[in-house]
Amino acid sequence: MTGIYGPTAIKLFFLLTPFFVLTMFLTLTEGMERGAQRRVALKTTLAVLVVSFTLYLFGQTIFDVFGITLNAFRVGAGCLLFLSAVDLVRGQAKRPEGVSEDFAVVPLAVPITVGPATVGTLLVMGAGFEDLAQRLEGAAALGTAVAATGLLLWLAGWVERLLGKQGLAILSRLTGLVLAAISAQIVFTGVKGFLG
């Protein structure tokens, strides 16, 4: 064990912006029966799991194909993540236009949960773990973060009653602050890699 599981799982959980996702989920499933709402939650979670692991596992291959260095992508992904964080902190994260009936995958899984910033960060993270032990712990952490987000959606009605709309808005802003710190760290690592 390399000791990265716990910290990585927490970072990935916030990266998926679970409280903003929950707010969007409640908006899109408004008026649905609990059973139908939970089917959407399950479908969304599975879609996020598939997309996230594809990005995590094949990040290095994607870099090799396009000739992109890991440090360059770190800087780009970090900047994009920071913009997402600013939107969350300011309460300006937007619901996508033109929502289709089958919204569990698009737009709820992609791009609401796995947006451009998340894509970039997962690619960087997957390519950044060099040995097998780190990759396995990173994969376990990713699975845990996605499962935790899925559980939040599964219990959406209960969480909404517990926290209220104002509580969810506050948690979304706190998520933005955490993402801002993560984005700064990603950019600093990329710049350090260039200079080193």
The model's pLDDT over 48-58, given as tens digits with 9 standing for 90+, comes to 999 999 999 99
Q: What pTM value is reported for the model? A: 0.83
What is the reported pLDDT for 195? 87
Q: What is the mean pLDDT of residues 52-68?
A: 89
Examine the pLDDT at 145 and tell me if it is beyond 50. Answer: yes
HEC states along the chain?
CCCCHHHHHHHHHHHCCHHHHHHHHHHHCCCCCHHHHHHHHHHHHHHHHHHHHHHHHCHHHHHHHHCCCHHHHHHHHHHHHHHHHHHHHCCCCCCCCCCCCCCHHHHHHHHHHCCHHHHHHHHHHHHHCCCHHHHHHHHHHHHHHHHHHHHHHHCHHHHHHHHHHHHHHHHHHHHHHHHHHHHHHHHHHHHHHHHC
